[in-house]
Copies of this chain bind each other. A is one copy, B any other.
């Protein structure tokens, strides 16, 4: 695998059951190793400069089913079994908006959970 100058590699996460692309996040070597060792996705947050496990706050963990990498070895594609909503905004996928023909955007899937419900009850 090729990590970039910051020691990171982008990881695309896909729901193995239905092919929906759920999110894209960054991994460093430690988070990739933890992902392989535990079978749960772990990432590196660039904004928080922090190692994190997906679902550590929300309970919406991702069970790893397959880890693929591309021809250049610089991007990962991870198949998972998703618990709950992948997006912190309560949607199944972070890609819940599409560009519309008029140049605006529209929401393309229903919200599964209220974000307050996901993070507010702790």
**Cross-chain contact A99 with B36 (CB below 8 angstroms):** yes
| Copies in the assembly, this chain | 2
Q: How far is the CA of A77 from the CA of B108 in the complex (A)?
A: 13
Q: Which of A105-122 contact B (CB under 8 A)?
A: 105, 108
State how many angstroms separate the Cβ of A7 from the closest Cβ of chain B: 16
Q: How far is the CA of A72 from the CA of B122 in the complex (A)?
A: 24
A104 at the interface (CB under 8 A from B): no
**Cross-chain contact B95 with A24 (CB below 8 angstroms):** no
Q: Which of A33-79 contact B (CB under 8 A)?
A: 36, 66-72, 75, 77
Residue among B10, B36, B70, B96 making CB contact with A94, cutoff 8 Å: B70
Q: How far is the CA of A70 from the CA of B88 in the complex (A)?
A: 11
**Cross-chain contact A98 with B66 (CB below 8 angstroms):** yes
Q: How far is the CA of A97 from the CA of B1 in the complex (A)?
A: 12
**Cross-chain contact A24 with B98 (CB below 8 angstroms):** no
Known pairs A24-B75, A75-B24, A77-B21; A70 contacts B95 (CB<8 A): yes
- Give A residues with C-beta under 8 Å from B: 10, 12, 14, 18-21, 23-24, 36, 66-72, 75, 77, 87-89, 91, 94-99, 105, 108
